[in-house]
Structure 1
C-alpha cells in the first residue's frame, strides 16, 4: 500500500489545528483566562444619590445630592450641601476616588456630607443594575445607592430653591424655610409657584440666557421671619431680568446686581 504523502502545506495545517485545539482547551478549563473585564459604563451619567448606608443604618440623601463621573478622570457633584470635585479611575467594576476641592457653605446637611465624603473615597466596588448603581467600600459596611437621572428642561419643571447667591458666595436658605420656595415656568412662559410664604405668578420671556420677568402678583399672607426673609430675596429676582444657567437638574438665576438663587429639579 502506498503511504500518504505529507507535504509542507499539510504539516503547517496540522500544526495550526493543534494550536487551535490547545487554545480551546485552555479557555474551557479556565474561563476568563487572559481576558480583562470591561469598565462599567458609569461615566457621562448624572447619578442622583438616593441613600447612604453605614453599619446597616440607611440614611436618605438630601434633595439635589448627585455625582457625575467624567471621561477625563474627574468627578463633580453635590454632597448634600456643598459642591465638590474629585479624581476617579474606573477599572472594571472598581472605582478609585480621590477627593479634591469642595465649596464651604454651612447648612443642616453637614453630618450627611461628612459621611458621604468618607463613603465616596478610596477603592469602591461598583454594581450596576439597570439605572441603579451601588458603590461599596472595601470593608463592606458602607455603601452608596445611586440612580441615573435624565436632564431637566427649563420649562415645565418644578424648581425648588435650595440656596441664595450673592456674587461668588452661596448660602443656604434661611433656617425654617427649606423647601418652601418653588416655581414652574410653563411652555407658554407663564410662571407660578411660592416665594416661601406667598403664592405668586408672573410671565417669563426667554432670550438666549436671559429671562425677563413681567409684572409679579402675589397673595398677601403674613408668615414667619425666615419665610419672609426668603421671599424678599426672591422677589428681587422675579421682579426684573436675570441670567440663567441650567446644569442638568440644577438651575441658577442671577440679576444684574449679582443677587440670585439656585434651585433643583423636583425628582
Structure 2
C-alpha cells in the first residue's frame, strides 16, 4: 500500500513537471514567433491616439523599428529609442530612452507616439497592421510595414550634428560638410567644411563602420572640422529615409544629412 502511494506521488510530480516544461516551451515559441513578425522590420506610423497620421511629418516618414532588445523611432523630428522587452502572449514593454533635442514645427505627433510607446503593454498584428495596445482598450498607435530602400549612393550634405554647444550655423558658417558614397568600391570622400577627405566604409544590414580618415592639411578656423571627424568616429549604424541619411550611435541620432 505504501509503495502504491509513493508511485502515485511520483507520477503526479512527473505530470506537473511535464506541464511546466510544456508551458515554458510554449511561451518560448510564442516569443520566438515575434522575431519573424516584428524584429528587424520598419513600421510606418499611420495612426496615434485614434487620429490618422500623414505620410510625412515635417517632411519625414514617421516610423518605429524593433530589434530583439531595443527599439528606435521618429515621428518627423527627433530620434527616440530605448530598451525593449517581448514576453509571451503578445506582451511588450518599451522602456523610456534618450532622445535628440531638436525643435521642429510640428511636435504633436512625436509627443503622442512617445506617450503611446511607454503606455503600451501588448501588441497585435491583423491584416498587416501592427497595433500597440494597453490592455484591451482601443489601440494607442497603428503602423504598417514600411518597405525600406537603404540607398547610400550619391552625395550627402550635413544639416545636423549632436554634441557641440555651438549652434550648427556657428560651426559651419560658410560651408557644410559633405560625404559622397561609392558603394561599389566601399569608399567615401567629401569635404569637412575645410579640408577634403576620404576613407573606406563597411556595412552589415544597418550597421556601418569607417576606416581611418585621410584628409588634406589646410589650416581651418573654428571647431567645425574637428567636431565632424570626431562625431563620425562614434557612428555604428545608419538609416536612409527618403532623402535623409541619419547616422546613429546606439539609439541616438548624432548626424543627419540631406541628399544633394
CA–CA distance in 1 between the matches of 2:168 and 2:62? 16
Contact 1:204 1:213 in 2 (8 A): yes
2:125 to 124, 127, 141: 127
Contact 1:164 1:172 in 2 (8 A): no
Q: How far off is 1:100 after superposition?
A: 2.5
Larger radius of gyration: 1
Residue 44 and residue 161 in structure 1: after superposition, are their counterparts in 2 closer, same or farther (change >3 A)?
farther
Determine whether 1:85 maps to 2:82.
yes
CA–CA distance in 1 between the matches of 2:230 and 2:115? 43
Q: How far off is 1:262 after superposition?
A: 1.1
What pairs up with 1:114-153 in 2 under 5 angstroms? Answer: 114-120=111-117, 121-127=119-125, 133-137=129-133, 138-140=136-138, 142-147=140-145, 152=150
Greater helix percent: which structure? 2
Q: How far off is 1:116 after superposition?
A: 0.6
Contact 2:83 2:94 in 1 (8 A): yes
Structure 1 length-normalised TM: 0.50
Residue 262 of structure 1 aligns with which residue? 255
Residue 205 of structure 1 aligns with which residue? 199
Q: How far off is 1:45 after superposition?
A: 0.5
Residue 252 and residue 77 in structure 1: after superposition, are their counterparts in 2 closer, same or farther (change >3 A)?
closer
1:49 to 44, 47, 71: 44
The Cα offsets for residues 138-172 of structure 1, whole Å up to 9 and x where unpaired, read as 4335423243566947x6266564631337x8x99
Residue 238 and residue 79 in structure 1: after superposition, are their counterparts in 2 closer, same or farther (change >3 A)?
closer
**How many residue pairs were aligned?**
196
More relative contact order, 1 or 2 (CA 8 Å, 6+ apart): 2
Q: How far off is 1:114 after superposition?
A: 1.3
Worse-superposed segment, 35-44 or 101-110 = 35-44
The Cα offsets for residues 83-123 of structure 1, whole Å up to 9 and x where unpaired, read as 3213332434x342243232362421542221112222323
CA–CA distance in 2 between the matches of 1:54 and 1:86? 23
Residue 204 of structure 2 aligns with which residue? none
- Report the 3-state secondary structure (helix = DSSP H, G, I; strand = E; otherwise coil) of the residue aligned with 2:233: strand
Residue 234 and residue 110 in structure 1: after superposition, are their counterparts in 2 closer, same or farther (change >3 A)?
farther
The Cα offsets for residues 1-34 of structure 1, whole Å up to 9 and x where unpaired, read as xxxxxxxxxxxxxxxxxxxxxxxxxxxxxxxxxx
Unaligned regions of 5+ residues in structure 2, if any? 1-25, 202-208, 240-245
Residue 245 of structure 1 aligns with which residue? 235
2:53 to 55, 58, 65: 58
Unaligned regions of 5+ residues in structure 1, if any? 1-34, 217-231, 254-260
Residue 53 and residue 240 in structure 1: after superposition, are their counterparts in 2 closer, same or farther (change >3 A)?
closer
Q: How far off is 1:247 after superposition?
A: 0.9
CA–CA distance in 1 between the matches of 2:94 and 2:225? 41
